[in-house]
Amino acid sequence: MQVLQVQLEIRPDPAEVGRARKWARSRLAGSGISADEPVAETLVLLVSELVTNAVVHTGCPAVLRLLLTGVCEDAAGGPAGTVRLEVADSCDRAPAPRCADGDATGGRGLALVDGLADRWGWTREGSGKRIWCEMDRGAAGSPEPRVGTRTAAAHGDFAFEAV
């Protein structure tokens, strides 16, 4: 099975979010996931949300990783494979649910991740953590709902907060 892994170091600076989106678009295109595939823009949005959370809520440098597994065509000739996004940082604060009211300008990032990714979660890693999400290529924009695949809470709005 073919696996491609690329990574980008992220500084704790809000300008890094735009740089991460541009980098992700370039890496996805270079791996054969064209910008007009529905999964491409969804993945870029997921990158944006995960990097924003790391930059805004941790104040620590982070590492963004894209892991592309089996990116190829399936037996029917359509796109196949899984793309995993990971953001690792050295902050020991765990993700915690946060409800955002209708006027709030933040607090919805992980709710978007939960709604868009096929699977997502987080793990402690040394003195920090790793937030990850996965998308199966060809799943974005699919008319069939993805049921029972998420590994994180399915309700509420989430963001990083000190616990």
C-alpha 45/C-alpha 48 separation (Å) is 5
pLDDT digits (tens, 9 = 90+) for 125-152: 999 999 999 999 854 444 333 333 333 3
Give me the torsion for CA of 148, 149, 154, 160, rounded to 10°: 170
Q: The pTM is what?
A: 0.77
Which CATH homologous superfamily contains domain 3-160? Histidine kinase-like ATPase, C-terminal domain (3.30.565.10)
pLDDT digits (tens, 9 = 90+) for 93-119: 887 656 777 776 666 788 889 899 999
pLDDT digits (tens, 9 = 90+) for 36-52: 888 899 999 999 999 99
